Structure 1
């Protein structure tokens, strides 16, 4: 018998982040709760089960303060009821700087952040 294998193949550390955000696509907008974030995506919770297209490009807007926000373009990776995983397809330089700072503060370990940044560039 083979030992139990760990199927978790994530290359990015997730941080738990309790916050409200907005997801939009074309003319539609959804309020959502962020469950966790990484440099390469996020897990969101919606009020009702997700029944939208898995093929579209969505824009997430996460306000951090009145002046600061993180904005990223996402595609759907998986859906479980009202929890939806998204992969970051594009993020501007200001948003990645804010996200990097947020991840670094929550990880508390710059070596882990550097590993994530290296994986992002590959």
Structure 2
């Protein structure tokens, strides 16, 4: 039996988005989302590198935009698993609301946020 390694609540979330790397912008589709990343379609013609990317998307029927700096953590067929490296305060506030609505239990948000901070607050080993 395969052990679940995900620490963060993931939920189905379909939205059009863009991935930007330096001057190149690719259209993509988000399939699921979490506080720590997303599963997206691999843009046609994109060659995956270790360079950072920006994932940018709007919430359906609104002007609310979410932007996060991400890195590719896995590639399977036509899908890319992205891990969040940085997210601004406005984007995380909007993402919080989406996650709370999908969790159905807003008390779990604090656990998610604490885990996210712990992972992203660690200093790299010297």
Unaligned runs of 5+ in 1: none
2:101 to 91, 101, 105: 105
Unaligned runs of 5+ in 2: 119-126
| Residue in structure 2 matched with residue 71 of structure 1 by the alignment | 67
Give aligned pairs, total. Answer: 117
Aligned counterpart for 2:88 among listed residues 82, 89, 92: 92
Deviation, 1:56, is: 0.6
Distance 2:62 2:95 in 1: 16
Conserved 8 A contact 2:48-2:72: no
Equivalent position of 1:114 in the other structure: 110
* Backbone CA RMSD of aligned residues: 1.6
Structure 1 residue 48 displacement after superposition? 3.4
CA contact (8 A) 1:50 1:83 kept: no
Give the ranges of 4+ consecutive aligned residues of structure 1 lying more than 6 Å apart after TM superposition.
none
TM-score normalised over the length of structure 1:
0.88
TM-score, normalization by structure 2: 0.85
